[in-house]
Structure 1
Amino acid sequence: MEQGRFRPDLLQELLRNAGSSVPIEDGHVIIRHVYMERRVRPLNLYLSETSDAAARAAVRDYGQTIRDLAATNIFPGDLFLKNFGVTRHGRVVFYDYDELCLLTDCNFRELPPPTSYEEEIAPSPGFPCARAISSPRNSRAFLVYGRTFAKSC
């Protein structure tokens, strides 16, 4: 972008704080690396506030978002609704990058059933696991804030 399109104080701040990724070359400001953010509504909050039709669409898009990430060998790690958000256009996006990992590094398996009441209420699993991720295959319904979304999604 032409250097003249930037206010001098903004240009000074960019050069001071990000000079290696925002140099000036031949009168142009070059942005080599940039992170962009967009404002999203956390999916868990969105689902509690919206209509059934909009919630169904968001739940479908939540699943599609996970499939799209998997297609690029990315697994979100935590599938909690709070780690996904809804954009102003109604699209679901993943925004919590703390637990990202390669899908090929994951070990998906069924959780063994608890053998006692103590195991059932224990805060951590009663079996060894490194970074194993259980499969929610047996969950046929998606429960959200008193709503049940089954195969209609």
Structure 2
Amino acid sequence: MQDTIRLTVNGSEHDVPAAPDTPLLYVLRNDLLLNGPKYGCGLGECGACTVLIDGVAARSCVIPVGHCTSHDIVTLEGLGTRAAPDVVQQAFIEEQAAQCGYCLNGMIMTARALLNRTPNPTETEVREALRYNLCRCGTHVEIVRAVMRAGQLQSGT
């Protein structure tokens, strides 16, 4: 049975027709046409679908949309713009921390969540935060470097 569910996504309110147990990822991609979060494993294991819910990284493929009302959801599209990217996005560009790009949504959103709670993390903290985000292309070195750079950009060091 479908309900009308009100979500706050990237600072805007949206009423979407969805069953409360529909995965948030499906609503973001299919109803709101936000393609930052990717469908990877569908089990919350790979991180490609990561979004921020109230500033915390969350796997949108396993979160029922009915649990997301009254929460602030941010997708990759809500972090920054082409003209003014978030420091994490800027650092990923500067470090060329991408190859195929499929994992980038999860890496960037997880990095943003890390920097929300730890503004200038150590390399160990970065590696720990990203340990459950899968990248099959092998750009882990560049990704860690990008997150370290983002911390420096954010703190002005």
TM range, normalised to the smaller chain? Answer: under 0.3
TM-score with structure 2 setting the length: 0.23
TM-score with structure 1 setting the length: 0.23
Q: Larger Rg: 1 or 2? A: 1
Q: Select the structure with the greater relative contact order (CA < 8 A; seq sep ≥ 6).
A: 2
